[in-house]
Structure 1
Amino acid sequence: MNLKWRTYLPLLWILAIPVLNIFYGVLNHAHTPVKSLVTDLDTVIPFVPIFIIPYLVWYPFIIIMLFLFCARDRNVYYRTLLTQCIGLIACYIIFFLFQTTVERPPLMGTGVLDWLVNLVYSTDNPYNCFPSIHVLTSYLMIKGAAASAGFTNKDRVVVHIFAWSIIVSTLFVKQHVLLDVVGAIALVEILWFGVGRLSSALRAKNKGVIVRGENMWEQ
């Protein structure tokens, strides 16, 4: 029983995420001259309230994925979590230096979906937009699933469906614009590569230390 508990002890590192998220609330207001990254293509994208469902699914999706990575592939778990934490820090720096906003549509309906959208709007100010954290973390789960031997091709298809539905939802509920999405994906690609190279270098260094230690004992 004690051994099983220790197996899941690395999950405690997930607590770094809510700690970092404190900065999201601190920065989520117009503290600098606010920019708009809306393009002509964004004006064509309609507001579709039903997409608030995948938008909200993001919260359990990320946690469940991190739990699965921890259980199935510890190396991918650490790489994904470290990339996410560095990505959040990078986002907060960008929010501080380059604050953007997205104009939200007026909510005329009174249905459940409109109520959910209004709930999101009322609890999340229209700032901290570029790059999108929703997109960053969702796309990161795709990268992690693709790199993990613990996921089958069917598993990866499911991850793609959930992740891309969340990514698209940020546009259809007018929480983000296209450049927010592109910026987040580009940031993930850069950080995933960098963290991967760092992990490989550390493993090679540790392996070299072990080998030298074995040679010393042989002598």
Structure 2
Amino acid sequence: MLFLFLIFLLIPYIGINQISQFRNYSLFDPSLSVDSWMPFVPWMILIYFSLYLYYPLSAWYGIGDDRRVREMFVFHQGMFTVSACIYLIFLVAPVEVHLREQITEQELQGTGLLSTFYSMLHLGDAPYNAWPSLHVVQSFLILKVLERWNVWSHKIQILAWFAWFLMMISIMTTKQHFFFDLITGLITAIYSWLYWIKPSLESCHDNLWSEKLQSSRDD
């Protein structure tokens, strides 16, 4: 699953990001007043990076009975497809996130390792690939499928959603995204879950899907 992540998610993201930087073009400026008064909070880059802890969860907890295994494969196909649609938006409707200009050297002084993290982030991730926010979309979908599988206690689920809320806020407090990116990401995530991925998970247990799965195993 990690290999598939590299092929279908990470490599296209980097490629489109570099293309957008080379073109140096923004279709529009989605900035709002909230983007200016939202404070820069250096330590929240740790929360921002927590996205990468989400990716293995759906694969790890998807290993179980036949029903959950089916849903795991269908879920990842759906998430890859949603991500591909977002990549297309990145490519045809690029937006430069000029919020990094609000970060001053004084604000990073004394932050130690955090300053290094920001330098690495800004070096490897050009200020494009903005909307809708992949951070919001992918993490939301992963938490929803884990919630569907009921793999955690109610208290753990509450903590997980609180951590997700902090990560959603972190895309703004690290000056990586506009508020517009957050909202469009949330709309995309909810719509994709309700009208695409969730129905696909429910339909993957019908007889036709079972026959196809059994046929692939026999082959």
Bin for the TM-score computed over the shorter chain: 0.7 to 0.9
Q: State whether structure 2 residue 113 is matched by structure 1 residue 125.
A: no
- 1:33 corresponding residue in structure 2: 25
Report the Cα distance in structure 1 between the residues aligned to 2:209 and 2:81, rounded to whole angstroms. Answer: 26
AA aligned opposite 2:3: L
Q: Following TM superposition, by how much is the alpha carbon of 1:36 offset from its aligned partner in structure 2, in angstroms? A: 2.2
- Residues 133 and 181, structure 2, Cα contact 8 Å, conserved in 1: yes
For the structure 1 residues 15 and 195, does the alpha-carbon distance in structure 2 shift closer, same or farther, using more than 3 Å as the test? Answer: same
Aligned pair count reads 198
Q: Percent identity?
A: 18
Once superposed, what is the RMSD of the aligned Cα atoms? 2.4
- Residues 107 and 114, structure 1, Cα contact 8 Å, conserved in 2: no
Report the Cα distance in structure 2 between the residues aligned to 1:191 and 1:125, rounded to whole angstroms. Answer: 27
Report the Cα distance in structure 2 between the residues aligned to 1:84 and 1:208, rounded to whole angstroms. Answer: 21
Counterpart pick for 1:77 among 57, 72, 79: 72
1:61-210 aligned within 5 A: 61-71=54-64, 73-103=68-98, 104=100, 105-108=102-105, 109-110=108-109, 111-112=111-112, 113-193=114-194, 194-206=196-208
* Pair member with larger Rg: 1
Report the Cα distance in structure 2 between the residues aligned to 1:205 and 1:64, rounded to whole angstroms. Answer: 28
Q: Following TM superposition, by how much is the alpha carbon of 1:202 offset from its aligned partner in structure 2, in angstroms? A: 4.0
List alignment gaps of at least 5 residues for structure 1.
1-11, 211-219
Counterpart pick for 2:36 among 35, 43, 51: 43
Highest RCO, 1 vs 2 (Cα 8 Å, sep ≥ 6): 2
AA aligned opposite 1:170: I
AA aligned opposite 2:32: T
Relative to the length of structure 2, the TM-score reads 0.79
Where 1:128 maps in the other structure, the secondary structure is coil
- 1:213 corresponding residue in structure 2: none
Q: Following TM superposition, by how much is the alpha carbon of 1:92 offset from its aligned partner in structure 2, in angstroms? A: 0.7
Q: Following TM superposition, by how much is the alpha carbon of 1:58 offset from its aligned partner in structure 2, in angstroms? A: 1.7
After alignment, is 162-171 or 45-54 more displaced?
Answer: 162-171
Q: Which runs of 4+ in 1 moved over 4 A?
A: 207-210
Report the Cα distance in structure 2 between the residues aligned to 1:146 and 1:199, rounded to whole angstroms. Answer: 13
For the structure 1 residues 163 and 78, does the alpha-carbon distance in structure 2 shift closer, same or farther, using more than 3 Å as the test? Answer: farther
Relative to the length of structure 1, the TM-score reads 0.79
For the structure 1 residues 155 and 76, does the alpha-carbon distance in structure 2 shift closer, same or farther, using more than 3 Å as the test? Answer: farther
